[in-house]
Amino acid sequence: MASVDQYINEQLSRGRAYFSREEALDSLGLSSQAFIAAATRLAKKHRLASPRRGFYLILRPEDQVIGAPDPVRWIDPLMKYLGFDYRVSLLRAAAFHGSSHQAAMVFQVIAPKQLRAFDIGRHRLQFIYQAPSTFSKTNVPDWLSQMKSEAGFAKAAGVELTLLDCARYFHKVAGINGLAQIAKDLGANADPNKLAKVASSYENSAVRRLGYLLDRSGHARQAKALEPFARKAKSMKLLDPSVKPLIESLSEPHEKNIQWMLVINEPVEIDF
């Protein structure tokens, strides 16, 4: 009977740096208790790490320093193990597409299921819930990219989907200024027609927010593609709804942008 040590070495020789408890038990013929004891011992030796119960990462020497491999190497098999579709988006996707200002300190994943964030080694994974109806409309192959690693591929939002995800969940990308920088950095790479198609699945206020920031960044073609959404708006919305005065009656009047039907209640700073 092979040991757990032999089993993980065999997985590495096949270029596979992860496995599930069920796979190991089927292969090794161990009892659950014996396997858990062996896995615990190997985790203490920094040979294994477990981002979710029943799913294990095999740590190569270079991974042991930071406690786990880059999540791009194992997010796809982890989500398959959990049984949920996903996409890498927001800050990590923005950096992937060339937003050099985004030193992504967190690996953000959008999924149609509420999942807890967790830390593993020096990595932090954050899951952003998107309603299943919206997720199914947006998580389509034509709007996705692939993040390649030596372990395979991970699903990631394409440029257009990244922009709209960031506009919808701007509070997860360092607020309005973070979103503005991403719009400036990535806007020129967005296909206007595809951007408009993706936008049809998002809240009108988020689309207008993105359109305004693309316009401000000089991405006229991309901004123009979103103008029809602004024309459908029936009321003004705050550019940054998270910023509200403590006493409404004492608040100073803000600029109103009629083109995008937005109240510019927060100054926007972009590095050019």
Q: What is the pLDDT of residues 168-214, one digit of tens each?
A: 999 999 999 999 999 999 999 999 999 999 999 999 999 999 999 99
Residues 119 and 46 in one domain: no
Mean pLDDT of all residues in 39-58? 95
Domain boundary residue among 43, 66, 89?
Answer: 66
What was the pLDDT predicted at 50? 95
Write out the H or E segment, with its range, that includes residue 163. Answer: helix 159-168
Q: How many other CB atoms sit within 10 Å of the CB of residue 12?
A: 13
Confidence grade of residue 250 (pLDDT, cut at 50, 70, 90): very low
Which residue type occupies 90? L
Both 206 and 234 in one domain: the answer is: yes
Whether residue 169 is contained in a domain is answered as yes
Q: Are residues 202 and 92 in the same domain?
A: yes
State the Cα–Cα distance between residues 264 and 230, nearest whole angstrom.
15
Do 154 and 124 fall into the same domain? Answer: yes
Query: Quick one: pLDDT band at residue 135, thresholds 50, 70, 90?
Result: very high
Q: For residues 269 and 13, which has the higher predicted lDDT (pLDDT)?
A: 13
- Which pLDDT value is given to residue 1? 47
Burial grade of 14 (CB within 10 A; 0-12, 13-18, 19 or more): exposed
Alpha carbon 59 to chain centroid, angstroms: 24
Q: Indicate whether 110 and 228 sit together in one domain.
A: yes
56 and 77 part of one domain: no
Last residue of a domain, one of 66, 98, 117: 66
35 with 78, same domain: the answer is: no
Q: Could you give the percent of the chain with pLDDT greater than 90?
A: 81
CA–CA separation, 39 and 255 (whole Å): 60
Q: Domain containing 13: what range? A: 4-66
**Where does a domain end: 32, 49, 66?**
66
pLDDT for the residue 103 = 60
Cα gap 161→219, rounded to integer Å: 16
Domain membership of residue 269 (yes or no) is no
Band of pLDDT at residue 102, cut at 50, 70 and 90: low
pLDDT at 210: 98
The CA distance from 70 to 91, in Å, is 15
Residue at 56 is within a domain: yes
Q: Are residues 233 and 128 part of one domain?
A: yes
CATH of the domain at 35: 1.10.10.10
Give every CB contact of residue 111 below 8 A, 6+ residues apart in sequence: 79, 84, 85, 86, 87, 127, 128, 129, 130, 135
pLDDT tens readout for residues 59-90: 999 898 899 999 999 999 999 999 999 999 99
Cα dihedral: 19, 20, 26, 29 (round 10): 90
Percent of the chain residues topping a pLDDT of 70: 94
Q: Is 44 helix (H, G, I), strand (E, B) or coil?
A: helix
Domains in the chain, number: 2
| DSSP for residue 250 | G
Q: Residues 182, 244: one domain?
A: yes
272 within some domain? no
Integer Cα distance of 265 and 244 in angstroms: 8
For residue 132, give the H/E element and its range.
helix 132-138
Is the same domain home to 125 and 240? yes
Residues 133 and 236 in one domain: yes
**pLDDT interval class at 247 (50, 70, 90):** very low
In a domain, residue 271? The reply is no
Instruction: Please choose, from the candidates 91, 85, 93, 96, the residue with its C-alpha nearest in 3D space to the C-alpha of residue 134.
Output: 85
**pLDDT tier at 272, thresholds 50, 70, 90:** low
* 151 and 189 fall within a common domain: yes
Q: Which residues of 261-272 are buried (b: 16+ CB within 10 A; e: fewer)?
A: bbbbbbebeeee
270 belongs to a structural domain: no
Hey, what are 10's tokens? 């065999």
* Inside any domain, residue 247: yes
* Phi (first) and psi of residue 154, to 5 degrees: -120, 145
